Structure 1
Amino acid sequence: MSRLPPSVARLRVAVRDALHDLPTGALVLAACSGGPDSLALADTLAFCAPRMGLRAGLVSVDHGLQDGSAERAAAVAAWAATVGLDPAEAVSVEVTGPGGPEGAARAARYTALDAAAERHGAHAVLLGHTRDDQAETVLLALVRGAGPRGVAGMRAVRGHYRRPLLDVARADTHAACEERGLKPWTDPHNADPRYLRSALRPTLDSLVAVLGEGLVANLARTAALVGADTDHLDALAAAALEEVRDGEGLDAAKAGALPVAVRGRVLRAWALELGVNGAELNHRHLDALDALVADWRGQGPTFLPGGIAVRRGGGRLTGG
């Protein structure tokens, strides 16, 4: 019997580990663009799922941003059907809204994947982000001054989304495609310097050349460590938010007495409850909110995205 190629073995172990807790008969969907990472993931899912008593399908999202994108998504879905993935569908989306082309495309993609998961009753949706993607995310967060939440990077599990390959190298997904005879599509956006993540990749390659091959793994490990700390602080903040509530507002004195790391999370969570779009809420907004409770000098209201004003009066913070 021939030995299983190491890259293929690593992917299969990662996918099995990511799905071990699902009930027998559960449906798992792979989100697949046709690129090497998601194609290798979908192929691995097609192998692993039936051997684990699971059902497997695929969704390919056409963002409509490139010539031939609809045909490419349809071809991915057609391939999926040949390897036993069912359902196997291509879904078109309209990319509009805030966040620039990358942010708007991401929002449209997740909306489509959420709808597919609900439509088919899927227990999980798999995403093909690799350890290299995680390292890039950490660097981008550092460049943007995003703080611990950003440095924590992408989570292995978030709701019904799972990322089995966060500890698998991009080189392994490329090698697995070659070993399995898959023909991935190369997205030209991945080499387009107009997109920040694409522009960062040569810099990361240069850093690896100087600092060694362990850099990518170390950055990904940093994300995991910071993520664990962030989860713990978020849990403390959730409890603290209930303690400082005063009707629909917050008790300013109690909020101001919280440790800084907890207080910032409390104010962020409360702002989201007020209806603020989390993608538009930045550190300047949170600093202004924090000043209302920790550096109160009689200042006027703080305005948050969406035109929401937060005021302090009578020892309380209120917003609307």
Structure 2
Amino acid sequence: MARRLIDWPSAAVRLAEVLPRERLHPRVVAWAVHPRNRATPWTVALSGGADSLSVLLLLWGLWPEQRRRLRVVHFDHRLRGRSSMMDARFCAEVCHGLGLALKMGRWDERPLKVSEATARAARMAFFDQVLERQKESAIWFGHQQDDIAETLLMRLARGSGTAGLAAPRPVQAISRRRVHLRPLLTLSKAEITQALTGANIPWREDASNARATFLRNRIRRSVVPAWSEAVAGRNVLQGAALARELIEEDDAALEEWTERLPLFTPAGALRLAAIAGCPRAVKRRALARWLAQHQLVRALSRQAVDALLQAIERGGAARHSVGRDVFAVIRRGLLCIERRKVVKAQR
């Protein structure tokens, strides 16, 4: 069968008519139209699927003044053989048609056992490599409302707090130099594919999304449909999206509260008087900042962190092991690090 040639600029204009700026997340639109962000290079993470393709076409169609700053990255996970190569070819054709630069990467050191987390880490490492020389950068992703519901259920299962349950965020500051943007969080997957179909725009389907290999796929195929059926008459995707917005508001309020407190001494000890009388959520965040300051976040289990938090709330002196020959010590109203001196035996 002959390959259908697509006029991609016309396709972008058609999709922009179907999905104008008013249909996109308002916080992302507000970021995009702000004068200080006009000079920031915009990079689209393009897989070839309906979601990321829609983001690319909408940016090209809705923000013509940004086209010369628009770049595209594609990462080949090499998980689907020839289909993965066809994805890359499709992305190249789209970018060529729009006159945009495309940077491609491949997962050459793929582990024997692949998880969603390892695949994402490899993909983000490639993005970091591509963008490392840019003073500022904005990466656009195709997450939508189905992704919100799936992520919410996945993170509920592992007991995440507000920071985890607020993902994926529409505007996410990764650092002072980089921001991640997700304009489609106001739309469902069905609405996006319907818009593409109505505009006569093709996209690539990832057949692995139908397999039960990854947890997200199992939730997508089994849990979300059952959830929707159980609450017949309610749109669970819109409900999850609203819950995510409210959780993000609460998370931001707790972060701002914690930020305003005089938490640390010049030596890096946590002032316990600064958090006395605060809600437990603020105390937990203050402790998390102290752990991060001393590079102990990954060293402690959740149970160990809870035990340390309980010691803070009880008051009085305490001493907890937080690593080999390293202790968290509470004394004189301070939480500080104490290292055991190791005496080498004399020969």
- Give the TM bin, normalised by the shorter chain: 0.7 to 0.9
Residues in 2 aligned to 1:225 and 1:239: alpha-carbon distance in whole angstroms: 22
> How far apart, in 2, do the equivalents of 1:231 and 1:309 lie?
32
Cα deviation digits, residues 253-299 of structure 1 (max 9, x gap): 55455321100011112212222456x86633431221231236766
Q: Which residue of 2 aligns with 1:311?
A: 328
Q: Distance in 1 between matches of 2:86 and 2:16?
A: 26
* Native 8 Å contact 1:255 1:293 kept in 2: no
Find the counterpart in structure 1 of residue 287 from structure 2.
Answer: 267
Q: Contact between 2:210 and 2:217, CA under 8 Å: does it hold in 1? A: yes
Unaligned runs of 5+ in 2: 1-12, 174-178, 340-347
Which residue is 1:284 aligned to? Answer: 303
Unaligned runs of 5+ in 1: none
Q: Deviations over 1:188-225 (max 9, x none)?
A: 33222231111112211121123134221011111101
Aligned-pair RMSD on alpha carbons?
3.2
Query: What is aligned with 1:20?
Result: 33
Structure 1 residues 308 and 62, CA gap change in structure 2 (3 angstroms): farther
Aligned residues: 312
Contact 2:166 2:244 in 1 (8 A): yes
Paired with 2:102 and 2:300, the residues of 1 have a C-alpha distance of 37
Q: Are the structure 2 counterparts of residues 19 and 36 from structure 1 closer, same or farther at C-alpha, using a change threshold of 3 Å?
A: same
Residues of 2 paired with 1:263 and 1:286: CA distance? Answer: 12
| Residue aligning to 2:148 | 134
Matches within 5 A, 1:286-301: 286-295=305-314, 300-301=319-320
Give the superposition deviation at 1:20: 1.5
SS at 1:90 equivalent: strand
Paired residue secondary structure (2:105): strand
Match of 1:75 among 67, 89, 93: 89
CA distance in 2, matches of 1:188, 1:302: 48
Q: How does 1:147-296 map to 2 (within 5 A)?
A: 147-159=161-173, 160-201=179-220, 202-211=222-231, 212-240=233-261, 242-245=262-265, 247-252=267-272, 254-255=274-275, 257-276=277-296, 283-295=302-314
Please say if residues 135 and 220 of structure 1, whose CA atoms lie closer than 8 Å, have aligned partners that are also in contact: yes
Q: Does 1:104 align with 2:124?
A: no
Contact 1:49 1:55 in 2 (8 A): no
Check 1:38–1:310 CA distance in 2 against 1; reply closer, same or farther (3 A cut). farther
Q: Under a length normalisation based on structure 1, what TM-score does the superposition of the two structures give?
A: 0.83
Tell me if the contact between 1:255 and 1:263 (Cα under 8 Å) persists in the aligned partners.
yes
C-alpha distance in structure 2 between counterparts of 1:119 and 1:254, whole Å? 40
TM-score by length of 2: 0.77
Q: 1:302 to 1:227 in 2, by over 3 A?
A: farther
The AA in structure 1 aligned to 2:18 is A
Shift in Å at residue 130 of structure 1?
0.2
Return the index of the structure with the highest Cα Rg: 2
Tell me how far 1:143 sits from its aligned partner.
Answer: 2.2
User: Percent sequence identity over matched residues?
Assistant: 24
Aligned letter for 1:64? Answer: R
Q: Retained in 1: the 8 A contact 2:20–2:62?
A: no
SS of alignment partner, residue 278 of structure 2: coil
SS of 2:19's equivalent in the other structure is helix
Contact preservation (8 Å) 1:63, 1:95: no
Task: Give 2:18's match in structure 1, choosing from 2, 5, 9.
Answer: 9
1:302, 1:311 within 8 Å by CA — same for their partners in 2? yes
Q: Over residues 92-145 of structure 1, what are the superposed CA-to-partner deviations in whole Å (9 max), with x where a residue is unaligned? A: 245669x97211211222222233233466631100000111122222222222
Counterparts of 2:265 and 2:138, CA distance in 1 = 35
CA distance 1:59–1:157, change in 2 (3 Å): same
**CA distance in 2: counterparts of 1:192 and 1:100, whole angstroms:** 14
